[in-house]
Amino acid sequence: MNHSIYSADRMTHLKVVVVALIAGIFVAGLGISARVNSGEGYTQTAKVIKAGKPVAIGSSSATAVR
């Protein structure tokens, strides 16, 4: 058994490439399946926030409307 990638033969390099390719496809497939099953899809909805009545707060004679 050879423990160095520099002095490995052609078949060992091929095995490393195949294992890396399979792992990459697995990770990409996992990411795509997690994104597709998110539930919300690609639609966006606008949420409207309406302001309430103004409130006057002050500790002096001048009032500040916030």
Confidence class for position 18, pLDDT limits 50, 70, 90:
very high
Helix/strand/coil (H/E/C) assignment for every residue in 10-28: HHHHHHHHHHHHHHHHHHH
Question: What's the whole-model pTM score?
Answer: 0.48
Confidence class for position 24, pLDDT limits 50, 70, 90:
very high
Section 29-42 average pLDDT: 69
The DSSP H or E segment spanning 32 is: helix 10-36
